[in-house]
Amino acid sequence: MLVGRSKAPTYEQPQGLPEIYARHADFVWRNLRRLGVHESSIDDAVQDVFLVVHRRLGDFEARAQVTTWLFGIVLRVAQTYRRSATRRRARLTDAPASDFEHVPTTTTEGPAELFERREASQLLHRLLDELDDDKRAMLVCIELEQMTVPEAAESLGLNLNTAYGRLRAARAAFNDAVTRAQRQMAAGREAS
């Protein structure tokens, strides 16, 4: 038995762009929105992500999961779109909740449940908009996409210690944003 370094795990190599698109288009769409791309630009941003995937697919060596690799691309495309939107002074918080945020349920939801889900999704996007890009990306990776910290670190190009520190800071910033939102809602109810 050999003692020493273990070989890095390898993951399944995707068959090609059509397979990646079929399996991960919803993942790309959902995370572009979560990372602040305006609703009106989402379709173009998805196309840009898959253009990058097409160009770089030959470089993918299956040392990470496809979603880890894709998230890194999504993050860079989202940052480009957000910078462009900022230059145009577009308001990102006016985007309606998307259907991709809808989590299917086993029972039929009534109008009240659908309304509550939409309100919660809009609140989540407003709270995410309050975070800086680095914290927002980390929180989306870990809390919403359920990546492990090592996967998120690889997606974001961070060393592991930095990733853990950023996650702690992101959670603290998000909790602060939630507290502020709760205070605003309470003040609004008192004023009514």
Nearest to 121 by CA among 101, 137, 138, 141: 101
Q: How far apart are CA 182 and CA 177, in angstroms?
A: 9
Judged on CB neighbours under 10 Å (0-12, 13-18, 19+), 132 is: exposed
Instruction: Give the pTM.
Output: 0.70
pLDDT by residue for the chain (192 residues), tens only, comes to 444 544 555 666 667 899 999 999 999 999 999 998 988 899 999 999 999 999 998 888 777 788 889 999 999 999 998 888 766 644 444 445 454 444 445 456 778 787 888 888 888 888 998 999 999 999 999 999 999 999 999 999 999 999 999 999 999 999 999 999 899 888 888 876
176 vs 161: CA distance, rounded Å: 23
The torsion angles phi and psi of 8, rounded to 5 degrees, stand at: -60, 140
Three-point CA angle 57, 21, 45, nearest 5°: 90
